[in-house]
Amino acid sequence: MTDISTAEGSSPLQERRLRTEVPGPRSRELLTRRTAAVAAGVGVTLPVFVAEAGGGVIVDVDGNSLIDFGSGIAVVSVGNSAPRVVAGVREQVGRFTHTCFMVTPYEGYVAVCEALNRLTPGTHDKRSALFNSGSEAVENAVKIARAATRRQAVIAFDHGYHGRTNLTMALTAKSKPYKHSFGPFAPEIYRAPLSYPFREPAPISGAEAAERAISVIDKQVGAENTAALVIEPIQGEGGFIVPAEGFLPRLADYCREAGIVFIADEIQTGFARTGAMFACDHEGVVPDLITTAKGIAGGFPLGAVTGRTELMDAVHVGGLGGTYGGNPVACAAALGAIATIEEEDLVGRARNIGEVMLPALRELQARHRIVGDVRGRGAMIAMELVTPGTREPNPDAAQAIAKACHAQGLVALTAGTYGNVLRFLPPLVMPEHLLKEGLGILEDAFAGFGGAQPQAPSRPIATPA
């Protein structure tokens, strides 16, 4: 796992290095310009400005080299500027940059669809269509499901995240920051309860949690009115919630019986991230439609819908598209990223990352009572923080620990409906020595926050940065 041979040459030195405080003077200068030029609504997690990145590090304009536990929110799973991605993109931009696939097509788009049809769960006959982002993929999956079923209602879940466009905001559960003040939202969206093992009032099996959701659909919406059910196999922005075993298979069975299109949103979980090519594979779930983006193209904007031919082809000719969807440069990047994932066994690497991280985080949990839960699969791992001795969410602790990690040169992200989840999404090519160093920084951040005594209450934070 330490070998990142494919990144050699183009990749910055695989080390953590702090030359200045974080952010340093050059980053702070750029931050001033950013504040004066960029809309305030666009937030920032860690205001270091990037000079280069690759393998497991991000190098900033002050010469600091940070360990990347975020992958630009689960995007650069193959590493930044991965050699096959760069080679494909270079070759493509030299030939042509755009024609619009709907005007005059090109091979790269077809090759990406072939790869998607081959790699996504299920051996049935499939078709794919390409778009520019995750949100756009989800929007189109809903359009396809509605056209195919001639029904309108769509079921989304508590803690779900599907994007920031109007339809996908309606599908997204959390108000702030995603929806607040942006309504009215698209109609005919209904929310069902999720399986959230850590927060169930009493233990409940996956199958029982599925029945609870099905009852809401049957009673409040009616299966005969329902076009689609949209679910992330592991909720991403919602806090890396792994549903109880059996939840997803039961929902998929219900959808099949009721003629509802089961849409798996694998935008964050897809392409090797969870230690399987797709998270649905862990339980053998075969979705009718699957949405992908993020990890598909090594950082280039690309999203896709893949699914059963009879559903995909139910849409009238000309009903799907967009000027840039499946742009040739993004397709070249995707072919490079997919080749990297397959040839370097990044599925296996994601599994290895989980095998290193989970025991280390469980050990932290044993020592720090603010850690309520450790969960995840492969290289999609999280810790949910609580007030000691309760399940009360502790977002201040998550923020403080993330900030402490940032100051030491570790890019750590938060998530969760309650903002109390630390989530880790390292590039799958992360060298093991950096993974372990990153975990050490996290350990120090916990020690600095609450002390290492199991009985010690967490220290209040005077000034949450």
| From 146, 162, 308, 375, residue interacting with ligand PLZ (rule: CB under 6 A) | 162
- Cβ(302)–Cβ(338) under 8 Å? no
d(CA 12, CA 363): 32
| From 122, 163, 206, 426, residue interacting with ligand PLZ (rule: CB under 6 A) | 163
Query: Residue 66's beta-bridge partner residues?
Result: 58
The residue (of 167 and 360) whose beta carbon lies closer to ligand PLZ is 167
d(CA 87, CA 7): 12
Q: What region does 360 belong to: left with phi over 0, alpha with psi -120 to 50, or beta?
A: alpha
* 325 near ligand PLZ, judged by CB under 6 A: no
* 276 near ligand PLZ, judged by CB under 6 A: no
Classify residue 9 as exposed, middle or buried by CB count within 10 Å of its CB (0-12, 13-18, 19+): exposed
d(CA 327, CA 308): 23
Query: Residue 377's beta-bridge partner residues?
Result: 380
The residue (of 237 and 344) whose beta carbon lies closer to ligand PLZ is 237
* 232 near ligand PLZ, judged by CB under 6 A: yes
The residue (of 399 and 458) whose beta carbon lies closer to ligand PLZ is 399
* 138 near ligand PLZ, judged by CB under 6 A: yes
Binding mask 392-431 for ligand PLZ (x = CB under 6 A): ----------------------------------------
- Cβ(296)–Cβ(122) under 8 Å? no
Classify residue 302 as exposed, middle or buried by CB count within 10 Å of its CB (0-12, 13-18, 19+): buried
* 139 near ligand PLZ, judged by CB under 6 A: no
- Cβ(341)–Cβ(271) under 8 Å? yes
Binding mask 69-108 for ligand PLZ (x = CB under 6 A): ----x-----------------------------------
* 164 near ligand PLZ, judged by CB under 6 A: yes
Q: How many residues bind ligand PLZ (CB under 6 A)?
A: 16
* 161 near ligand PLZ, judged by CB under 6 A: yes
d(CA 85, CA 299): 9
Torsion of CA 335, 337, 338, 344, to 10 degrees: 130
Least Cβ distance, residue 270 to ligand PLZ (angstroms): 9
* 369 near ligand PLZ, judged by CB under 6 A: no
**By CB under 6 A, which span of 14-22, 61-69, 101-109, 133-141 interacts with ligand PLZ?**
133-141
**By CB under 6 A, which span of 161-169, 181-189, 221-229, 315-323 interacts with ligand PLZ?**
161-169
d(CA 69, CA 57): 9
**Where along the sequence are the contacts to ligand PLZ (CB under 6 A)?**
73, 133-135, 138, 161-164, 232, 236-237, 265, 267-268, 293
